[in-house]
């Protein structure tokens, strides 16, 4: 057995499950902050094996799902302009904005929208099209923001002035604070995001345990990771010793990645940001620092973000806050399906509604 297989070892999983059933002495509502954890729990088949007292909730950790209607409107505003090429990751193409419009529809109507696999691809696109302006759509959390910031630094070093970024990056810890301040969320513990934590480390989450008395476990995406993390949560609940634990040590250093944070905060600084279904969260977004303002699509291209109203009937906000399970949404599987999504949670491969639909739970 190689190291990777050991994190999917059936015998080890069986033992952890037995201990989980034995140790759980009260109901536990835990939130998997990261959408990849949501999908991993379904794919591994763990969900029906967990004790009945465990309720798992989806969180605001899918970058596409938390992209606000107003931000999609800004994408669409740029998509129709002469001399503009939008460069984006593919999962943003079908995210609905105001009146259900999306980038895929704009592309069909003639807008120049290119799917790229990294911001560096967008930079190369700008180099090949000197007569146009290439705008990379910057969404995502601490995981992707350093790469985008590094690409902006490359553009500056190369003198590529026709490369811009529409920066709607978001930060995870401020969103957790909002959830903990809302008594209706009633979260007992957090399964903290593995990818984001490779950059952040443990320190930015300490308030979760210190101020709110809520356990948090940074974990990976294999069954052993998830089961061991649930066991840690249950044990902390029993002992009252609430801490942030790094279960994912093979990927996450306790101190995170200082160089990635240096690059990210060298180009960007924090600001208030809009989150789909949640609203404006203080200091939860990133905007350009003055030294890099010439790469800011908002300023350079005169884009104004007008706060758009929520999509009628869409309950993605309630799902992202753990107040509603996807299957409890009146539109789930009826008016909202992966083929005709009303909200982003049904679009993204990390979206909880899409995961519930795909695995027919």
Place of tokens 């940001």: 273
Predicted TM-score (pTM) above 0.85: yes
Distance between CA atoms of residues 298 and 135, nearest Å: 10
Residue 360 has pLDDT above 80, yes or no: no
Strand ranges in the chain using DSSP code E only, listed in sequence order: 28-34, 54-61, 84-88, 113-115, 133-138, 163-167, 189-192, 216-218, 244-246, 268-275, 279-288
Residue 281 has pLDDT above 60, yes or no: yes
Specify the higher pLDDT residue, 236 or 6: 236
Place of tokens 């049904």: 346
Q: Which two tokens stand for residue 163?
A: 């490369």
The reported pLDDT for the residue numbered 348 is 82
Identify the band that residue 90 occupies on the pLDDT scale cut at 50, 70 and 90: very high
- Choose among 158, 131, 147, 230: nearest CA to 190: 230
Burial category of 23 from C-beta neighbours within 10 Å (exposed 0-12, middle 13-18, buried 19 and up): middle
Residue 350 has pLDDT above 90, yes or no: no
At 125-155, the pLDDT tens digits run 999 999 999 999 999 999 999 999 999 999 9
How many other C-beta atoms lie within 10 A of the C-beta of residue 249?
11
First to last CA, the chain: 32
Sign of CA pseudo-dihedral 299, 304, 305, 311: negative
Distance between CA atoms of residues 282 and 178, nearest Å: 9
Contact 29, 52 (CB under 8 A): no
Cβ neighbours of residue 130 under 8 Å, at least 6 residues apart?
162
Residue 165 has pLDDT above 90, yes or no: yes
Burial category of 46 from C-beta neighbours within 10 Å (exposed 0-12, middle 13-18, buried 19 and up): middle
Distance between CA atoms of residues 10 and 106, nearest Å: 47
Distance between CA atoms of residues 81 and 135, nearest Å: 11
Distance between CA atoms of residues 77 and 266, nearest Å: 28
Contact 261, 199 (CB under 8 A): yes
* Mean per-residue pLDDT, 104-114: 96
- Average pLDDT value for the chain: 94
* Mean per-residue pLDDT, 290-315: 92
The reported pLDDT for the residue numbered 310 is 84
Residue 1 has pLDDT above 70, yes or no: no
At 92-102, the pLDDT tens digits run 999 999 888 99
CA distances from 170 to 53, 61, 65 (A): 33, 10, 12
Distance between CA atoms of residues 89 and 116, nearest Å: 5
The reported pLDDT for the residue numbered 306 is 85
The reported pLDDT for the residue numbered 361 is 52
Element (H, E) at 158: helix 145-158
**Rounded percentage of the chain residues whose pLDDT exceeds 70:** 99
Q: Which two tokens stand for residue 121?
A: 């691809």
At 3-23, the pLDDT tens digits run 777 888 899 999 999 999 999
At 179-226, the pLDDT tens digits run 999 999 999 999 999 999 999 999 999 999 999 999 999 999 999 999
Q: Which two tokens stand for residue 185?
A: 């969320």
* Mean per-residue pLDDT, 43-65: 92
Place of tokens 């010793």: 241
Residue 87 has pLDDT above 70, yes or no: yes
Q: How many CA atoms lie within 13 A of 17 on its CB side?
A: 16
* Mean per-residue pLDDT, 246-271: 98
Distance between CA atoms of residues 163 and 253, nearest Å: 33
How many other C-beta atoms lie within 10 A of the C-beta of residue 198?
18
């Amino acid at each position: 057995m190689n190291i990777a297989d050991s994190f999917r070892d059936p015998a080890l999983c069986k033992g952890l499950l037995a201990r989980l059933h034995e140790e759980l002495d009260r109901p536990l509502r835990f939130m998997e902050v990261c959408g990849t954890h949501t999908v991993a729990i379904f794919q591994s088949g763990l969900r029906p094996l967990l004790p009945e007292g465990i309720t798992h909730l989806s969180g605001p950790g899918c970058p596409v799902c938390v992209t606000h209607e107003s931000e999609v409107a800004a994408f669409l505003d740029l998509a129709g302009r002469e001399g503009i090429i939008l460069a984006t990751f593919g999962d943003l193409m079908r995210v609905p904005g105001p009146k259900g419009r999306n980038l895929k529809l704009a592309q069909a109507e003639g807008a120049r929208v290119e799917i790229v696999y990294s911001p560096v691809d967008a930079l190369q696109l700008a180099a090949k099209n000197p007569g146009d302006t290439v705008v990379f759509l910057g969404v995502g959390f601490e995981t992707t923001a350093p790469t985008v910031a590094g690409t902006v630094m490359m553009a500056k070093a190369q003198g590529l002035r026709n490369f811009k970024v529409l920066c709607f990056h978001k930060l995870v810890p401020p969103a957790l604070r909002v959830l903990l301040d809302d008594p209706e969320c009633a979260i007992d513990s957090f399964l903290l995001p593995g990818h984001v934590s490779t950059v952040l480390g443990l320190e930015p989450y300490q308030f979760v345990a210190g101020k709110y008395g809520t356990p948090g476990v940074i974990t990976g995406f294999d069954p052993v990771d998830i089961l061991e993390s649930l066991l840690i949560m249950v044990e902390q609940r029993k002992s009252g010793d609430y801490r942030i634990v790094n279960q994912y040590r093979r990927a996450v250093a306790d101190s995170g990645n200082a160089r990635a944070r240096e690059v990210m905060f060298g180009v960007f600084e924090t600001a208030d940001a809009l989150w789909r279904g949640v609203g404006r969260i203080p200091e939860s977004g990133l905007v350009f620092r003055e030294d890099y303002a010439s790469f800011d699509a908002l300023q350079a291209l005169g884009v104004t973000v007008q706060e758009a109203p929520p999509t009628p009937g869409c309950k993605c906000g309630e799902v992202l806050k753990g107040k509603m399970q996807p299957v409890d949404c009146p539109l789930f599987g009826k008016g909202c399906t992966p083929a005709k999504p009303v909200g982003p949670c049904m679009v993204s491969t990390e979206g909880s509604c899409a995961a519930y639909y795909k695995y027919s739970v």
